[in-house]
Amino acid sequence: MKNKFFFFTFIFSLTLFAQKIPNGFVYVSDIDATIQSELRYLNASNFIGKTIDGYDDSCVIVTKETADALHKVQTILAKKGLSLKIFDAYRPQQAVNHFVKWAKVLNDTLMKHEYYPQVPKSELFKRGFIAEKSGHTRGSTVDLTIVDIKTGKELDMGSIYDFFGIESHPLYKNINERQKKNRLYLRKIMLDNNFNPYDNEWWHFTLRNEPFPETYFNFPVKK
C-alpha cells in the first residue's frame, strides 16, 4: 500500500509539472510517433554552437493542423521505406531573440566554417538569414528532411541543414542529379500535402492557411 501511494504521488507530480501548451497546439509524437526528429537547437549542433534559449526538451510542437498534415506525408513516405525527420518546428520568440543577440556579437564565429563560410557575419541581417520575427514562432512552420528507415541515413540534399548560402536554395543547380531529385521529391510531397516552400531553404515549409498567421508565441519547447 505504501509503495502504491508513492507511485501515485510520483505520477501526480509529473502531471503537475508537465507543460500545458496553448489550445490549438500538439506534440507531434501524439499524432504520429513514427515521425523522427533531431532538434538541432536543443544541443550544440547548430550555427551558434550552443543550446538555444527556449529549448528544454526533445519534443516537437506544432499546431494541430500542421501535425495532421505531417501525418499524411509520413503515411505516404512509410510505404516507400522512408520517414520525415524534423530539425525544428514551433520556435519560441525567446529563441529568435537569442539568434538576434548572437548575430550582433560579430566576433562570435565559432561555427562560421561549417554554416556560413562565405557570408560575413555582419551581413546576416542584410541578407535575410537572421530576423527579429520567424514564421516558426506561429507554430505552423517546420524544418525537415527525409530519412531512409532501413539505413537511418538522411537522403543527400546537397547541403547541410541551416547552411547560410545560395547552396541551400531549393532549386540550386550546382549539385548532382541525385541531390536535385531528393530536394524536388521533398518539395513535391510537401506541396501536395498543403505546405508552401521557402525560396531560400530546401528544408523549410509552412502550412497553407495556418491557424495563427499573426500570433508569435513564446512558451518553451518542453514536455
What the chain holds in terms of domains, given with CATH numbers, is 23-207 (3.30.1380.10)
CA gap 141, 206 in Å, rounded: 4
Is residue 161 within 8 Å of 203, Cβ to Cβ?
A: yes
> In the predicted model, what is the mean pLDDT of residues 119-127?
96
Mean pLDDT of 162-181: 97
Tell me which H or E stretch contains 38: none
What's the pLDDT score for residue 19?
77
Q: How many helices (H) and strands (E) does the chain have?
A: 6, 7
Instruction: Report the percent of the chain where pLDDT is more than 70.
Output: 92
Asked if residues 158 and 145 have their Cβ atoms less than 8 Å apart, the reply is no
Residue for cell digits 507531434? 28
Residues with a catalytic annotation lie at: 201
Residue of higher predicted confidence among 44 and 8: 44
User: Would you state the cell numbers that stand for residue 94, as one nine-digit string?
Assistant: 525567446
What's the confidence (pLDDT) of residue 8? 45
Q: Determine the average pLDDT of the residues in 132-158.
A: 98
Computed over every residue of the chain, the mean pLDDT equals 94
Kind plus residue range of the DSSP H or E element containing 200: none
pLDDT tens, residue by residue, 194-206: 999 999 999 999 9
Which helix (H) or strand (E) element contains residue 190?
A: helix 177-191
CB 174 within 8 A of CB 119: no
**Identity at 221, one-letter amino acid code:** V
